[in-house]
Amino acid sequence: MAQSDISGPHFRSPHNVTLLGAGDCDAATLAQCLALAPVLVAADGGASRALAADHMPQAVFGDFDSIDAAAKAAIPADRLFPSADQETTDFEKSLAAIAAPLILATGFLGARVDHQLAAFNAIARSRAQCILVGAQDVCFHAQCGRDYLLPSTPGERVSLFPMQQVRGQSDGLRWPIAGLTFAPAGRIGTSNMATGPMVRLAFEGGGMIVVMPRHRLADLVGALGG
Residue-wise pLDDT for 23-74, tens only, equals 888 999 999 999 999 999 999 999 999 999 999 999 999 999 889 999 999 9
Residues paired with 139 in a beta bridge: 132, 211
**CATH number attached to the domain at 148-211:** 2.60.120.320
**CATH number attached to the domain at 14-135:** 3.40.50.10240
**Per-residue pLDDT, 9:** 60
Q: What span, in angstroms and rounded, lies between the C-alpha atoms of 145 and 154?
A: 26
pLDDT at residue 6 is higher than 70: no
CB contact set of 199 (below 8 Å; sequence gap of 6+):
149, 150, 152, 158, 170, 171, 172, 173
Least confident of 144-148, 190-194, 199-203: 144-148
Q: Which among 159, 130, 166 has a CA at the least distance from the CA of 145?
A: 166
Tell me what the pLDDT averaged over the chain comes to.
93
All CATH 2.60.120.320 domain ranges of the chain, comma separated, are 148-211
Mean pLDDT of 100-108: 97
**Per-residue pLDDT, 10:** 78
All CATH 3.40.50.10240 domain ranges of the chain, comma separated, are 14-135
